[in-house]
Amino acid sequence: MLKAIQSGRSGLWAQQLQLDSVANNLSNINTTGYKKSETEFAELLRQSMADNGIPVLSGAGQVPEVGGGVKLTHMSKVFTQGDLQKTGRELDLAIEGDGFFTLQAPGGETLYTRDGTFALSKDGKIVNSAGYQLLITKSGEPVKSLEDVQEIKVDKKGNVTVVDSKGEEKEAGQIVLRRFENPKGLLAAGQNMFKAGSAAGEPVEEGDMGVIHQGYLEKSNVDILEEMTRLIEAQKAYSLNARTVRTADEMWGMVNNLRK
Protein backbone atom coordinates (compact mmCIF):
# COMPACT_ATOMS: atom_id res chain seq x y z
CA MET A 1 0.00 0.00 0.00
CA LEU A 2 2.86 2.32 0.78
CA LYS A 3 4.18 1.86 -2.77
CA ALA A 4 0.80 2.73 -4.27
CA ILE A 5 0.45 5.82 -2.07
CA GLN A 6 3.99 6.92 -2.89
CA SER A 7 3.40 6.50 -6.63
CA GLY A 8 0.14 8.44 -6.43
CA ARG A 9 1.79 11.16 -4.35
CA SER A 10 4.60 11.61 -6.88
CA GLY A 11 2.01 11.82 -9.67
CA LEU A 12 0.06 14.48 -7.79
CA TRP A 13 3.20 16.54 -7.29
CA ALA A 14 4.23 16.18 -10.95
CA GLN A 15 0.82 17.23 -12.26
CA GLN A 16 0.73 20.16 -9.84
CA LEU A 17 3.97 21.41 -11.42
CA GLN A 18 2.44 20.87 -14.86
CA LEU A 19 -0.61 22.91 -13.86
CA ASP A 20 1.64 25.68 -12.48
CA SER A 21 3.55 25.78 -15.78
CA VAL A 22 0.35 26.01 -17.83
CA ALA A 23 -1.09 28.70 -15.55
CA ASN A 24 2.07 30.78 -15.86
CA ASN A 25 2.05 30.45 -19.66
CA LEU A 26 -1.60 31.47 -19.91
CA SER A 27 -1.13 34.44 -17.59
CA ASN A 28 1.71 35.71 -19.82
CA ILE A 29 -0.02 35.20 -23.15
CA ASN A 30 0.04 38.97 -23.74
CA THR A 31 3.51 39.59 -22.28
CA THR A 32 5.88 41.04 -24.87
CA GLY A 33 8.70 38.65 -25.80
CA TYR A 34 7.58 36.01 -23.30
CA LYS A 35 8.79 32.48 -23.98
CA LYS A 36 6.56 29.64 -22.82
CA SER A 37 7.69 27.01 -20.33
CA GLU A 38 7.49 23.28 -20.83
CA THR A 39 7.89 20.43 -18.35
CA GLU A 40 9.52 17.05 -18.86
CA PHE A 41 9.02 14.02 -16.64
CA ALA A 42 10.76 10.69 -16.12
CA GLU A 43 9.85 7.41 -14.45
CA LEU A 44 11.36 6.72 -11.04
CA LEU A 45 13.30 3.51 -10.35
CA ARG A 46 11.40 0.24 -10.69
CA GLN A 47 11.79 -2.50 -8.10
CA SER A 48 11.91 -6.21 -8.88
CA MET A 49 9.28 -8.05 -6.83
CA ALA A 50 11.49 -11.22 -6.79
CA ASP A 51 13.90 -9.38 -4.51
CA ASN A 52 11.22 -9.54 -1.83
CA GLY A 53 10.67 -13.30 -2.17
CA ILE A 54 7.78 -13.16 -4.64
CA PRO A 55 8.10 -16.02 -7.19
CA VAL A 56 8.47 -15.59 -10.94
CA LEU A 57 5.21 -15.62 -12.87
CA SER A 58 4.20 -19.13 -13.78
CA GLY A 59 5.40 -20.17 -17.24
CA ALA A 60 6.30 -16.61 -18.23
CA GLY A 61 9.90 -16.50 -17.07
CA GLN A 62 9.40 -12.88 -16.09
CA VAL A 63 10.00 -11.19 -12.78
CA PRO A 64 7.14 -8.85 -11.81
CA GLU A 65 8.16 -5.27 -11.10
CA VAL A 66 6.55 -2.35 -9.32
CA GLY A 67 7.10 1.24 -10.36
CA GLY A 68 8.23 4.03 -8.08
CA GLY A 69 6.21 6.86 -9.62
CA VAL A 70 7.25 9.91 -11.62
CA LYS A 71 9.50 12.92 -11.17
CA LEU A 72 10.09 16.25 -12.88
CA THR A 73 13.37 16.15 -14.80
CA HIS A 74 13.40 19.82 -15.71
CA MET A 75 11.28 22.82 -16.60
CA SER A 76 12.66 24.88 -19.45
CA LYS A 77 11.80 27.70 -21.80
CA VAL A 78 10.88 27.20 -25.46
CA PHE A 79 12.58 29.88 -27.55
CA THR A 80 10.55 29.65 -30.72
CA GLN A 81 9.86 32.85 -32.62
CA GLY A 82 6.79 34.84 -31.60
CA ASP A 83 4.66 36.82 -34.03
CA LEU A 84 5.63 40.44 -34.66
CA GLN A 85 3.10 43.15 -33.84
CA LYS A 86 3.37 46.63 -35.32
CA THR A 87 3.22 49.48 -32.79
CA GLY A 88 4.80 52.43 -34.62
CA ARG A 89 6.84 53.51 -31.54
CA GLU A 90 10.42 54.28 -32.50
CA LEU A 91 11.86 52.51 -29.46
CA ASP A 92 9.75 49.39 -29.80
CA LEU A 93 12.18 46.85 -31.26
CA ALA A 94 11.63 43.22 -32.23
CA ILE A 95 14.20 40.60 -33.16
CA GLU A 96 13.42 38.18 -35.95
CA GLY A 97 15.96 35.45 -35.34
CA ASP A 98 17.88 33.85 -32.49
CA GLY A 99 19.53 36.91 -30.95
CA PHE A 100 18.90 38.56 -27.58
CA PHE A 101 19.10 42.21 -26.60
CA THR A 102 22.01 42.79 -24.22
CA LEU A 103 21.23 44.82 -21.09
CA GLN A 104 23.52 46.43 -18.54
CA ALA A 105 22.25 46.53 -14.96
CA PRO A 106 23.17 49.51 -12.75
CA GLY A 107 25.52 47.25 -10.79
CA GLY A 108 27.34 46.14 -13.95
CA GLU A 109 25.61 42.77 -14.39
CA THR A 110 24.84 41.70 -17.96
CA LEU A 111 21.35 40.38 -18.71
CA TYR A 112 19.53 39.33 -21.87
CA THR A 113 15.98 39.71 -23.11
CA ARG A 114 13.68 39.35 -26.10
CA ASP A 115 11.39 42.09 -24.81
CA GLY A 116 12.11 45.10 -27.01
CA THR A 117 9.99 47.66 -25.16
CA PHE A 118 12.49 50.48 -24.62
CA ALA A 119 12.35 54.15 -23.73
CA LEU A 120 14.76 57.08 -23.61
CA SER A 121 15.62 58.12 -20.05
CA LYS A 122 16.21 61.71 -18.93
CA ASP A 123 19.96 61.19 -19.02
CA GLY A 124 19.91 59.99 -22.64
CA LYS A 125 20.03 56.22 -22.07
CA ILE A 126 17.88 53.69 -23.89
CA VAL A 127 16.43 51.54 -21.10
CA ASN A 128 13.86 48.81 -20.60
CA SER A 129 10.96 48.89 -18.14
CA ALA A 130 13.28 47.82 -15.29
CA GLY A 131 15.68 50.70 -15.99
CA TYR A 132 18.42 48.48 -17.44
CA GLN A 133 20.36 50.08 -20.27
CA LEU A 134 20.36 48.61 -23.77
CA LEU A 135 23.96 47.96 -24.79
CA ILE A 136 25.01 50.02 -27.80
CA THR A 137 28.62 50.14 -28.96
CA LYS A 138 30.57 52.46 -31.24
CA SER A 139 34.07 51.58 -32.40
CA GLY A 140 33.99 48.71 -29.91
CA GLU A 141 33.22 50.92 -26.90
CA PRO A 142 29.88 51.11 -25.04
CA VAL A 143 27.84 54.24 -25.69
CA LYS A 144 27.01 55.73 -22.29
CA SER A 145 24.24 58.08 -23.43
CA LEU A 146 22.72 59.89 -26.39
CA GLU A 147 22.66 63.68 -26.55
CA ASP A 148 20.31 66.15 -28.24
CA VAL A 149 17.90 63.47 -29.45
CA GLN A 150 14.82 64.41 -31.43
CA GLU A 151 14.40 61.16 -33.31
CA ILE A 152 16.01 57.73 -33.24
CA LYS A 153 16.29 55.48 -36.26
CA VAL A 154 17.29 51.81 -36.09
CA ASP A 155 17.97 49.74 -39.20
CA LYS A 156 17.63 45.98 -39.51
CA LYS A 157 21.28 45.43 -38.59
CA GLY A 158 20.85 47.37 -35.37
CA ASN A 159 22.67 50.52 -36.48
CA VAL A 160 21.34 53.49 -34.50
CA THR A 161 21.07 56.94 -36.09
CA VAL A 162 20.12 60.00 -34.06
CA VAL A 163 18.43 63.10 -35.47
CA ASP A 164 19.28 66.19 -33.39
CA SER A 165 17.33 69.42 -32.86
CA LYS A 166 18.87 70.90 -36.03
CA GLY A 167 17.58 68.02 -38.13
CA GLU A 168 21.05 66.61 -38.66
CA GLU A 169 21.66 62.88 -38.55
CA LYS A 170 24.62 61.25 -36.88
CA GLU A 171 25.59 57.66 -36.19
CA ALA A 172 25.20 56.76 -32.53
CA GLY A 173 26.43 53.16 -32.63
CA GLN A 174 25.09 49.64 -33.04
CA ILE A 175 22.80 47.60 -30.82
CA VAL A 176 24.59 44.55 -29.44
CA LEU A 177 22.81 41.25 -30.02
CA ARG A 178 24.04 37.96 -28.66
CA ARG A 179 22.86 34.39 -28.98
CA PHE A 180 23.44 31.11 -27.16
CA GLU A 181 24.10 27.59 -28.38
CA ASN A 182 21.68 26.28 -25.75
CA PRO A 183 19.20 29.03 -24.85
CA LYS A 184 17.23 26.55 -22.71
CA GLY A 185 20.14 26.76 -20.28
CA LEU A 186 19.55 30.45 -19.59
CA LEU A 187 18.59 31.35 -16.03
CA ALA A 188 15.43 33.39 -15.46
CA ALA A 189 16.24 36.72 -13.80
CA GLY A 190 12.67 38.07 -13.56
CA GLN A 191 10.89 40.77 -15.55
CA ASN A 192 11.39 38.82 -18.79
CA MET A 193 15.20 38.85 -18.51
CA PHE A 194 17.76 36.07 -18.39
CA LYS A 195 21.24 35.40 -17.07
CA ALA A 196 23.87 33.41 -18.94
CA GLY A 197 24.19 30.17 -16.97
CA SER A 198 26.87 27.53 -17.54
CA ALA A 199 24.35 25.25 -19.27
CA ALA A 200 23.63 27.92 -21.89
CA GLY A 201 27.28 28.28 -22.86
CA GLU A 202 29.18 31.48 -23.50
CA PRO A 203 27.27 34.24 -25.35
CA VAL A 204 28.09 34.20 -29.04
CA GLU A 205 28.81 37.61 -30.57
CA GLU A 206 29.33 36.52 -34.17
CA GLY A 207 27.17 34.90 -36.81
CA ASP A 208 23.51 35.35 -37.69
CA MET A 209 21.69 37.02 -34.80
CA GLY A 210 18.62 37.88 -36.84
CA VAL A 211 17.29 41.26 -37.89
CA ILE A 212 15.79 44.08 -35.86
CA HIS A 213 12.43 45.60 -36.77
CA GLN A 214 11.86 49.13 -35.47
CA GLY A 215 8.30 49.96 -34.50
CA TYR A 216 7.44 46.33 -33.80
CA LEU A 217 7.26 44.10 -30.74
CA GLU A 218 7.56 40.32 -30.52
CA LYS A 219 4.45 38.75 -29.04
CA SER A 220 4.42 35.82 -26.65
CA ASN A 221 4.92 32.41 -28.29
CA VAL A 222 2.21 30.85 -26.10
CA ASP A 223 -0.37 28.85 -28.09
CA ILE A 224 -3.64 28.99 -26.16
CA LEU A 225 -5.00 25.81 -27.78
CA GLU A 226 -1.88 23.86 -26.84
CA GLU A 227 -1.99 25.18 -23.29
CA MET A 228 -5.66 24.33 -22.86
CA THR A 229 -4.93 20.79 -24.05
CA ARG A 230 -2.09 20.51 -21.52
CA LEU A 231 -4.41 21.87 -18.84
CA ILE A 232 -7.07 19.22 -19.50
CA GLU A 233 -4.45 16.44 -19.56
CA ALA A 234 -2.92 17.64 -16.27
CA GLN A 235 -6.33 17.88 -14.59
CA LYS A 236 -7.28 14.36 -15.67
CA ALA A 237 -3.93 12.94 -14.59
CA TYR A 238 -4.19 14.75 -11.25
CA SER A 239 -7.65 13.28 -10.70
CA LEU A 240 -6.44 9.74 -11.50
CA ASN A 241 -3.49 10.03 -9.12
CA ALA A 242 -5.77 11.34 -6.38
CA ARG A 243 -8.02 8.32 -6.96
CA THR A 244 -4.96 6.04 -6.67
CA VAL A 245 -4.09 7.50 -3.27
CA ARG A 246 -7.71 7.31 -2.10
CA THR A 247 -8.12 3.68 -3.24
CA ALA A 248 -4.86 2.61 -1.56
CA ASP A 249 -5.95 4.33 1.63
CA GLU A 250 -9.32 2.54 1.56
CA MET A 251 -7.64 -0.82 0.98
CA TRP A 252 -5.23 -0.12 3.82
CA GLY A 253 -8.15 0.71 6.08
CA MET A 254 -9.90 -2.55 5.13
CA VAL A 255 -6.77 -4.57 5.98
CA ASN A 256 -6.36 -2.80 9.32
CA ASN A 257 -9.96 -3.61 10.22
CA LEU A 258 -9.73 -7.33 9.47
CA ARG A 259 -10.32 -9.52 12.48
CA LYS A 260 -8.43 -12.71 13.15
pLDDT tens, position by position, 27-60: 999 999 999 999 988 888 776 666 555 555 555 5
The C-alpha R_g of the chain, in whole angstroms, comes to: 27
Sign of CA dihedral 236, 238, 242, 247: positive
Q: Is the pLDDT of residue 153 over 80?
A: yes
What's the order of all strands across the beta sheet hosting 141-142?
141-142, 136-138, 169-175, 159-163, 151-154
Q: Residue 25's pLDDT is what?
A: 96
Q: What pLDDT score was predicted for residue 36?
A: 95
Question: Does residue 249 surpass a pLDDT of 90?
Answer: no
Say which residue, 250 or 110, is predicted with more confidence: 110
Average pLDDT over the chain, rounded to an integer = 89
Q: How far is CA 51 from CA 43, 56, 68, in A?
A: 20, 10, 15
Q: Are 212 and 157 in contact (CB under 8 A)?
A: yes
